[in-house]
Structure 1
């Protein structure tokens, strides 16, 4: 046999062995979200199950405004979010925006919510959050959602730049990422 033919035969055998090994492996199951390791304040109550896991990628707008009950002082104030909600494969399945804070599925169903709790999520990150969903508007993925958790947070805190009386009204946009976990009653 020629060297070229031997190399081709070995490549064919190697490919067949690799395919056979892959075929005998059981498919990987997607990991389900676990509340282990989250602060108790932001854990969803028993009697609920994960309905949808999304990764929010976007930005938060802050505005330099007068500080409440402190004449002459200013602070960065949260104005609202604007983020794409992607499934675990990176496909956009919805969006998150506000005010008021609204989670909307690509199928048109959407909801607002009432904040129940927050907990620190590390330096430079907005806090973990647990909200109770208001009844959904429209039929679709948001129908029946009871709670939403914000976890796996990266960034989003108020700007580090100076907010002074001279810069009142200035808006700044900060990038952030967070997973939004949607829960429904069992």
Structure 2
């Protein structure tokens, strides 16, 4: 190295470079066939979250979010609603929802997370949001589960779902419990029968005061 010529370590350049420039630099390097700089995980998460911002859907008033809340992420769910057969308050056998179990997909069909009991949603970046349904409306298709408004109750992790305030479940297809005639009462010492009903839905995740 010529005397007097100073260089800046790559790690310092990466920390100091704005995210758009850093991503552009990586793309240019790839196009020229030279090694691309490693984009920090935090930058990847920010870029992914930004790319998922979409317009809020048109929904019935009963399941609209609070003024000021904005969509941060939309995910399409594909999975099952799991029901167990038990005994209702009237003493008759009935199906009761045990849990949803579904993959969360982006617009290209890639798995970006999972939906499970709670209800709970976990993103592939490790962040999780749990919630409680606060309102519902019947789906246009009576054979499909209702559309929901869900208020966030707790979070974990530091990724995309860490600041979610509300979730909407809309555009549902399927998922309703089987006919009551297919339910077998658990009874003493008898194994509870379980049914796994396929369903699809769109989930919209909102944050308060997002730009």
Q: Which has the higher contact order (CA 8 A, sep 6+)?
A: 1
Other-structure match for 1:115: 133
What is the SS of the residue equivalent to 1:165? coil
Other-structure match for 2:81: 60
Aligned counterpart in structure 1 of residue 57 of structure 2, from 13, 28, 35 = 35
Residues 87 and 186 in structure 2, CA contact (< 8 A), matched pair in contact too? no
Alignment partners' CA distance in 1, 2:186 and 2:102? 30
2:198 is equivalent to residue 175 of structure 1: yes
Task: Report the alpha carbon displacement of residue 118 of structure 1 after superposing the two structures with TM.
Answer: 0.7
Residues 121 and 130 in structure 2, CA contact (< 8 A), matched pair in contact too? yes
Runs of 4 or more, structure 1, over 6 Å off, are none
Aligned residues: 154
Other-structure match for 1:106: 124
**Change in CA separation of 1:126 and 1:66 when aligned onto 2, cut-off 3 Å:** same
Residues 35 and 43 in structure 1, CA contact (< 8 A), matched pair in contact too? no
Residues 125 and 153 in structure 1, CA contact (< 8 A), matched pair in contact too? yes
Structure 2: runs of 5+ lacking an equivalent: 1-51
Please provide the CA RMSD for this pair.
2.1
Residues 71-116 of structure 1: per-residue CA shift (max 9 Å, x gap): 3x11011111110001111111110011x21100011110211211
Flag the structure with higher helix content.
2
Alignment partners' CA distance in 2, 1:175 and 1:33? 27
2:77 is equivalent to residue 50 of structure 1: no
Alignment partners' CA distance in 1, 2:193 and 2:177? 13
Residues 135 and 144 in structure 1, CA contact (< 8 A), matched pair in contact too? no
**Change in CA separation of 1:31 and 1:113 when aligned onto 2, cut-off 3 Å:** closer
Structure 2 length-normalised TM: 0.68
2:185 is equivalent to residue 162 of structure 1: no
What is the SS of the residue equivalent to 1:41? helix
